[in-house]
Amino acid sequence: MSMSPEIMRRYLCLSTTREIWSALSKAFYDGSDELLVFSLHQKAFTAKQNGRSLSFYYGELTEIFQELNH
């Protein structure tokens, strides 16, 4: 209910939520989130394992880089 009917009509044919979010991201993201990108880069390059399991540490880094790719 947070999308106008005019915009919603463009995305009703998509079958999954992921497809809808991907299409919306491509349509409305203008690339102006430099601060967020900088913050994610900083978070990724300063992350440390600090005694955590390798799988937990890897998962944290994977999430950061997936967000950067988005």
Domain ranges of the chain: 1-30, 31-70
- Cβ contact 65:43 at 8 Å: no
Note the pLDDT tens digit of each residue in 16-65: 989 988 888 877 776 667 778 888 889 888 999 999 999 999 999 999 98
Task: Give the CA dihedral 26, 31, 32, 35, nearest 10 degrees.
Answer: 110
- Cβ contact 32:4 at 8 Å: no
Residue 23: CB partners within 8 Å, gap ≥ 6?
10, 11, 14
Q: Which helix (H) or strand (E) holds 36?
A: helix 34-46
Note the pLDDT tens digit of each residue in 46-59: 999 999 999 999 99
